[in-house]
Structure 1
């Protein structure tokens, strides 16, 4: 009987594994170098450099001391990401404050020229720019309709706010004398409607987008002056136009 020939399987050529392993090693080395270059900490870079040389142990180190190496970014050149972000925030902070100071100075000049110096106050504080207008300038007693005589002042305020993209709050206040008539049931209603009408007028000028504005009403709950005197009550009856800061105030704010 003829014996069947036994076919031996050919051995698979595995010589390709050597260059493949070398390629992976080089890729790993490349990623380590790229990681090191992205850092500004020289101590960390030195540690990575030692690990890099360990990969090629048995041969001459590619990045041994005294030999040329890849350039390491210095802190003075590229800077740390956190430091850059912090500096950017500081720049925005100062820029916003300077804009508000400019608006404040311009408004104070317009207010003095218009004869409103004792009835309209402008203050720059930690919260933002506050324009406080006594009710006698804006409304008749017990009413919420904006007087025509004050419209030029409100238009000037609106025009100056055009250069700012901050949120604008219109806040109504009254004194502690209760009101109850056919138009308003309480000081809450009066303070709210006065804030709404001032907001609507500013929005109608087209200088300030309505989406940037909101109203608040506090009636007599947040007095700044003594309600036991007629002068204090007159100052407490006010509408505030408040431009809210987007960034924290600088360390020193000139509120005068």
Structure 2
């Protein structure tokens, strides 16, 4: 009888299940609003301090003092630029054959408005043929009057150990009709025909020649003026010493 009375008292002391859930929810809501209120009046130092304590316990978040993003010093960038300029000085290379272009040919180039520039760089040099010197506008056929010079260049290539690169370039004026549909196609065809001439006529190994057609992608002058477009229409024959590979 006593045991039965004790069980009834325990059942009377138990709270309904919904009341426990409601109490938990009320506590969570109260905590949430207190947190909102405290954050609205919290300064940056207090906020970071709070999260620092949180990171110390769980190791997920990490705050550190703000700092400026590193940027290379302007002086260093200028020094690198000058270094690059020093390696690309426009002048005749010591390896360039002095008798390759005769004074008569140079005079002819000047009279016809054509240009041939020799640029020296570390480990070699390159020949930059100006517009219409090797090819007529829109054509990839080598002009007859320039072939004697091409043959002399081929003879020099045959007796040297340079790796040779032939790069074709154009201006940005779109192709209108004709055999080639784009500037890239035209520049590549010019480089290929020049390489083929060296291989078939001058017996140069094709393994020593690489070619590329860049179209208008690598201008050396603005295409906004006729003079700039003329400079961009060029073919470069680059001679690079094997020891620099």
Is 1:166 matched with 2:162? yes
Considering only aligned residues, what root-mean-square deviation do their CA atoms show, in Å? Answer: 2.2
Is 1:223 matched with 2:215? no
Task: Kindly report which structure 2 residues correspond to 1:140-179, keeping only aligned pairs within 5 A, or say none.
Answer: 140-179=136-175
Task: Kindly report which structure 2 residues correspond to 1:52-67, keeping only aligned pairs within 5 A, or say none.
Answer: none
How much has 1:175 moved relative to structure 2?
0.4
5+ unaligned residues in a row in structure 1: which ranges? 1-99, 250-256
Higher RCO (C-alpha under 8 Å, 6+ residues apart): 1
* CA–CA distance in structure 1, aligned partners of residues 160 and 218 of structure 2: 27
Q: Which residue of 2 aligns with 1:34?
A: none
* Contact 1:159 1:207 (8 Å CA) reproduced: no
* CA–CA distance in structure 1, aligned partners of residues 178 and 198 of structure 2: 27
* CA–CA distance in structure 2, aligned partners of residues 238 and 224 of structure 1: 10
Task: Kindly report which structure 2 residues correspond to 1:43-54, keeping only aligned pairs within 5 A, or say none.
Answer: none
Q: Which residue of 1 aligns with 2:68?
A: none
How much has 1:161 moved relative to structure 2?
1.9
Return closer, same or farther for 1:168/1:111 CA change in 2, 3 Å cut-off.
farther
- Using the size of structure 1 for normalisation, the TM-score is 0.53
Return closer, same or farther for 1:205/1:110 CA change in 2, 3 Å cut-off.
farther
* CA–CA distance in structure 2, aligned partners of residues 132 and 196 of structure 1: 16
- Using the size of structure 2 for normalisation, the TM-score is 0.56
Q: Which residue of 1 aligns with 2:38?
A: none
Greater Rg over alpha carbons, structure: 2
Q: Which residue of 2 aligns with 1:136?
A: 132
Is 1:115 matched with 2:111? no
Return closer, same or farther for 1:151/1:110 CA change in 2, 3 Å cut-off.
farther
* Contact 1:104 1:122 (8 Å CA) reproduced: no
Q: Which residue of 1 aligns with 2:205?
A: 209
* CA–CA distance in structure 2, aligned partners of residues 162 and 103 of structure 1: 14
Deviations, residues 141-165 of structure 1 (Å, cap 9, x unaligned) = 1111111111111111111222211
Return closer, same or farther for 1:192/1:127 CA change in 2, 3 Å cut-off.
farther
Is 1:124 matched with 2:117? no
How many aligned positions are there?
A: 150
Return closer, same or farther for 1:151/1:168 CA change in 2, 3 Å cut-off.
same
From 180, 186, 190, the counterpart of 2:186: 190
How much has 1:108 moved relative to structure 2?
4.7
